[in-house]
Structure 1
Amino acid sequence: MSTRFIRNFTLLFVLSAMLTTACTGGAGKPESTAGTGGDTATAKPEATTIAEEHDPFGRYEEPLEISIGKSLNLSDKSLPEGDTPISNQFTRYLEKRLNLKFKAYWQAGGEAYSQKVSVATASGDLPDAMVVYSYSELRKLVDAGLVEDMTDVIEQYASPLVKEIYAAGDHAATKAATFGGRVMAIPASQGLGDSMYMMFIRQDWLDKLGLQAPTTLEELEHVIAEFLDKNPGNVKDQIGLPAYSLFGMTNNFPTLNPIFASYGAFPTNWVKDKDGNVMSGLIAPETRESLAKLREMYAAGLIDKEFALRKDVLEPIISNRTGVFFGPWWMGFNPLNQSMQNDPEAQWKAYLAPLGKDGKYNTHVQSPSSMFYVVKKGYKHPEAIMKLVNVQTENEQGLDPDADMDLGVDWVNEPLRAPVDFPDSIEKDAEKVIKALNNELPVDQLTSKQKRIYESWLKTKDNPTSDIAAWSEAFSYVVGGGQLLQPQLNKVPSLYYGETNTMVTKGAALGKLQQEVFNKIIMGSAPIEAFDQFVNDWKKQGGDEITAEVAELLQP
């Protein structure tokens, strides 16, 4: 996840997490390579650039106006007076460079945006282009024959940088947008680091109690118990581990994923059973073991007693009422920036813990793509959206010296937004910055972004609140991103990331069943044996059908 995207993403994460919770064994956040499209004939784009016909950055001779479905961050107030989400410094640059103009066919934020997409799909009344934020939405558009085939557009107009990014992920992003052998959207490509959760802990609390950072689950239980008993932060109403979700594929935080993973359980993944057959990790024996342990921890007060009901899930972290939680690498951006402002003496550190029995830190990883640019079927200039993506990607990577964008210009300024980034982008930046800090790499070999992070760390590491924005970015990359470089990290991909027909029709009901049963087991209102009945019910109520569909899709 890019820095610019993170700055505004956290205000929307609760909605996203609700959509991505792995209640259906991988169906929660559909990210697939499977599916068959409807009518995918492509309208040939006219050659109207002043450069060669297939120039990825060719400027149109006449202004080209594109109607878009615009996703808004309703809480963002960063645009200067007079600017709007579709008329601002970046869109003016796009007009200058490509001669593109944009008008809002409709615009909405949060859940209302998804509703707009659903209505547009049902009615067939689409803007020229928009971004869809799930495979499910893309699939519906393709099945209805409403979007352009982008196969040739990507081949002919994607910039060398965009093609390099897709290739770096073994073309998994374009495969995710492929239906019946044709690429039906321009896929985003996201860093895998966002889905790898780690432990954030108050180092100053550990030091005050003379404790070492925990590495095993047993040690973690001891540390939480000591925090609660000794209250080293002298805070009111301290809680144990906070948990917005039990598990989730990406950006579900705070979460309990690492505890499941320490038992070898990956509820969001499709895995192999002991006989080599595909199964949902949701119903694996290791998931049962994990629930039994979480039940013990909850009874001992080591997990937030209100985890299933708490609405403001970040409040205990922001107000420093907890000294440990699990989240992705970028927690410096939010909520730890607010934690530091409330307690400038707080010293947060990140660790890969708890380790599994094999001594490794096992973690699932998300699909490389879950967002897609779609173009209305019959639109004359589908290549214009590819050019837009090319320019945005250059700008995001800091490779466009002519963009002349102010530092504060970020994704809310872009007319359509789904980042195209290297799968290991976070690790690359973190590694170079850390090497420079350790005098293992000359500073002049850093990119402009990496140099900014390097300088921000030197400036704020001893006084974070002197420039909390600079500290947020530096901490996230150096402390959080640095953990993604550790040798004990073991990435466990899912066998399948997509959505099947039965997931569409029965996934929500299965998710509700899972949530109710798992919460009851953890909170002690149902015995651990309830998991066995859950497995039977899950299978009968659609799980077996879904498993058969996934197994068929995985056939060579």
Structure 2
Amino acid sequence: MKIKKMLALVPVLTLVTSALAGCGNDQAKEAQATSTAAAKASGTPVTLTVEVFDRGIQGQPDLNNNTWSRYINDNFGKANNAVVKFVPVPRSQEIDKLNVLMASGEAPDISFTYDGATVSRYAKINGIQPLDELLAKHGKELTNYLGKTVLQYGQYNGKQMAIPAKRTSLAWGGMFIRKDWLDKLGMPLPTTRDELYNTLIAFRDKNPGGVNGVIPWGLAATGMNYGFGNLSESFWGKQSEEEFVTMPGWLKPGNKDTLKFLNKLYNEKLISPDFALDKTAKQADADVTNGKVGFFSANWDYPLRQNISEPLKTNVPTANFVPIDTFKNYEGKYKKIAYNENGVNVFIPKSSKNAELAIKYLNWMSDPKVLFFLQYGQEGVNHKMVNDMPQVITQTGDNMQTSYLNLDYTLVVNGVELGDQQKNIKALAASAPGYEAVAEKSYQINTTDTYTGYYYDTPNESNIKFGKTLGDLNKTMTDKLIVCKPAEFDRLYDKLVAEYMAAGGQAVMDENIKLYKNMQANKK
């Protein structure tokens, strides 16, 4: 059986629907036309407002006055008699803030969120503008760049309601092990769950790093980096596609065995002893960079990032983390989740009077030259060429990028874009100087035997209602089950799962089944 996609939980969305329903499409068009005509007549530049994440990074530049914002206004703004004004939204509160802006009719002309359920909810209550006509008239390059596969993720009831960014890097998580520890013990890279278990025991008992407080497997609180990798997938039994995409993880065959295995590791002191208290992953970072951790799972490139690789190299010059694939399932495959082809969801609120200009802006951004500058800037200033690959020069002040490759400014793409996927992968690897081969190997491992999140073309109302509650329960349930006494595990598991299903899990699953069956029927 070919498993294609999986449902991911989404957070709660609270909206003032009457405020968003607002004016009809014809009224929006009339308001936009009147505003545009008045601006042209007066010669006054039109202000195009664009959302941007404020990530609160220390030393970040003025988000409206920096190398990248000036480039945008100099090259798009002046040519279109417009001023592009960025509206900062705190990254940690983006949905709550966006809901307030939408309800008050003050959302930026170009708004976005990573939460597809939020956009579908806006679409359902007529709070955002359909984009088919605008794309046909002013979005040729944008449409060609994204393609049908990506654009379909922004369609609701047959209409294009959002512009999904193209995600060029599909790898998600990864797993890494101290190769220098294995070499010291004369052990090979573990390729199965049992082999990893034996390796963790050897790390605990023989402490090849000679450290105080050795941690065979580094973990942080559920929901943070330092998770379980694709351990769960290795325990899952055979399922139909319908079961796989509609059923919560707690009911999947083998999920109970996954948590029981982790409980065993915890009680045998093979994982971080206080992981459940580490809700920021700062302790796990410290343990890794101080050379205490033998194995961990995080983002596919996590140990290659400068905040990890540089202090680790200083503290333990001989440390050598390498990527591995170790959780094999009943089919002999290493199933793991990967990103869908779509990234952030960009949309135009119904309240916007500048929808045409907004699409022109996104269309302009699709130009390869524009994307390259926004991601890499000027050679010798913002990037240098290494083996024919651009490498960002980390900077502060005006030239600082507050997100990876300026993804908060490059709204049509998530990830490096050099026009060729092999080049993109090489460029990703080049972002980890000295670890290029390791990066390529990790990317290759974590884009093999993958599945992606299932795309429902209709929002799950129960998911919207109970999503945040269930998401929070997922975390607390997992942590409780890992740290409980083995004799208490079975009773606690059954109790917590019953509570989860009663708290909305059953309602979400029932609606998933209904939506899934409807989608399958429509394909016939």
TM-score of the superposed pair, with normalisation by structure 1:
0.72
1:421-432 matches, cutoff 5 A: 421=414, 428-429=421-422
Matched, 1:398 2:384: no
Matched residue, 2:209: 233
Matched residue, 1:493: 452
Match for residue 310 of structure 1 among 278, 287, 291: 278
Report the Cα distance in structure 2 between the residues aligned to 1:164 and 1:423, rounded to whole angstroms: 18
1:311-390 matches, cutoff 5 A: 311=279, 312=282, 313-331=284-302, 332-333=304-305, 334-390=307-363
The AA in structure 2 aligned to 1:65 is T
Contact 2:168-2:417 within 8 A present in 1 as well: yes
The AA in structure 2 aligned to 1:115 is D
- Compared CA separation, residues 130 and 475, structure 1 to 2 (3 A): farther
Matched, 1:298 2:298: no
Match for residue 263 of structure 1 among 229, 235, 248: 235
Matched residue, 2:65: 87
Match for residue 174 of structure 2 among 166, 174, 198: 198
2:275 alignment partner, SS class = coil
Match for residue 76 of structure 2 among 88, 98, 108: 98
Q: CA deviation at 1:395?
A: 4.8
Contact 1:426-1:481 within 8 A present in 2 as well: no
Report the Cα distance in structure 2 between the residues aligned to 1:425 and 1:553, rounded to whole angstroms: 38
Q: CA deviation at 1:499?
A: 4.9
- Compared CA separation, residues 219 and 396, structure 1 to 2 (3 A): farther
Match for residue 242 of structure 2 among 272, 293, 304: 272
- Compared CA separation, residues 40 and 241, structure 1 to 2 (3 A): farther
Matched residue, 1:540: 502
Contact 2:216-2:293 within 8 A present in 1 as well: yes
Q: CA deviation at 1:271?
A: 5.1
Report the Cα distance in structure 2 between the residues aligned to 1:101 and 1:294, rounded to whole angstroms: 54
TM-score of the superposed pair, with normalisation by structure 2:
0.76
CA offsets per residue over residues 421-465 of structure 1, 9 Å max, x none? 5899999337974xxxxxxxxxxxxxxx48x93xx8xxxxxxxxx
CA offsets per residue over residues 98-126 of structure 1, 9 Å max, x none? 2242234x424332444321321332332
The AA in structure 1 aligned to 2:468 is A
The AA in structure 1 aligned to 2:225 is F
1:257 alignment partner, SS class = coil
1:398 alignment partner, SS class = helix
CA offsets per residue over residues 458-517 of structure 1, 9 Å max, x none? xxxxxxxxxxx6336x356323223246xxx31123444685111122223333434333
- Compared CA separation, residues 340 and 193, structure 1 to 2 (3 A): farther
The AA in structure 1 aligned to 2:469 is A
Contact 1:362-1:492 within 8 A present in 2 as well: yes
Matched residue, 1:67: 49
1:371 alignment partner, SS class = strand
Contact 1:265-1:281 within 8 A present in 2 as well: no
Contact 1:129-1:376 within 8 A present in 2 as well: yes
Report the Cα distance in structure 1 between the residues aligned to 2:502 and 2:94, rounded to whole angstroms: 34
The AA in structure 2 aligned to 1:260 is S
1:144-155 matches, cutoff 5 A: 144-155=125-136
Contact 1:517-1:530 within 8 A present in 2 as well: no
Matched residue, 1:174: 151
Q: CA deviation at 1:143?
A: 4.2
- Compared CA separation, residues 29 and 227, structure 1 to 2 (3 A): farther
- Compared CA separation, residues 78 and 546, structure 1 to 2 (3 A): closer
Matched residue, 2:434: 471
- Compared CA separation, residues 395 and 314, structure 1 to 2 (3 A): farther
Report the Cα distance in structure 1 between the residues aligned to 2:378 and 2:35, rounded to whole angstroms: 26
1:288 alignment partner, SS class = helix
The AA in structure 1 aligned to 2:53 is S
Contact 2:178-2:295 within 8 A present in 1 as well: yes
Contact 1:271-1:279 within 8 A present in 2 as well: no
- Compared CA separation, residues 400 and 321, structure 1 to 2 (3 A): closer
CA offsets per residue over residues 57-116 of structure 1, 9 Å max, x none? xxxx9744212333212114364xxxx212222222222322242234x42433244432
In structure 1, runs of 5+ residues without a counterpart are: 1-23, 32-36, 50-60, 434-448, 457-468
Tell me the matched-pair count.
465
Q: CA deviation at 1:304?
A: 1.4
Give the RMSD, CA atoms, in angstroms: 3.9
The AA in structure 1 aligned to 2:433 is A
Higher deviation after alignment, 545-554 or 422-431: 422-431
Q: CA deviation at 1:401?
A: 12
Matched residue, 2:390: none
Higher deviation after alignment, 422-431 or 508-517: 422-431
CA offsets per residue over residues 45-66 of structure 1, 9 Å max, x none? 76999xxxxxxxxxxx974421
Q: CA deviation at 1:323?
A: 1.6
Contact 1:165-1:420 within 8 A present in 2 as well: no
1:69 alignment partner, SS class = strand
The AA in structure 1 aligned to 2:473 is L
- Compared CA separation, residues 164 and 233, structure 1 to 2 (3 A): farther
Matched residue, 1:502: 462
In structure 2, runs of 5+ residues without a counterpart are: 1-5, 14-19, 37-42, 384-392, 394-398
Report the Cα distance in structure 2 between the residues aligned to 1:150 and 1:532, rounded to whole angstroms: 47
Report the Cα distance in structure 2 between the residues aligned to 1:259 and 1:402, rounded to whole angstroms: 37
Report the Cα distance in structure 1 between the residues aligned to 2:49 and 2:424, rounded to whole angstroms: 41
The AA in structure 1 aligned to 2:294 is G
Q: CA deviation at 1:194?
A: 3.6
Higher deviation after alignment, 215-224 or 383-392: 383-392
1:71 alignment partner, SS class = strand
The AA in structure 1 aligned to 2:170 is G
1:189 alignment partner, SS class = strand
Report the Cα distance in structure 1 between the residues aligned to 2:349 and 2:269, rounded to whole angstroms: 53
Q: CA deviation at 1:238?
A: 2.0
1:40-79 matches, cutoff 5 A: 43=29, 63-77=45-59, 79=61
Report the Cα distance in structure 2 between the residues aligned to 1:245 and 1:157, rounded to whole angstroms: 47
2:230 alignment partner, SS class = helix
Match for residue 161 of structure 2 among 184, 191, 216: 184
Q: CA deviation at 1:145?
A: 3.3
The AA in structure 1 aligned to 2:328 is L
- Compared CA separation, residues 536 and 243, structure 1 to 2 (3 A): same
Matched, 1:522 2:494: no
Matched, 1:26 2:5: no
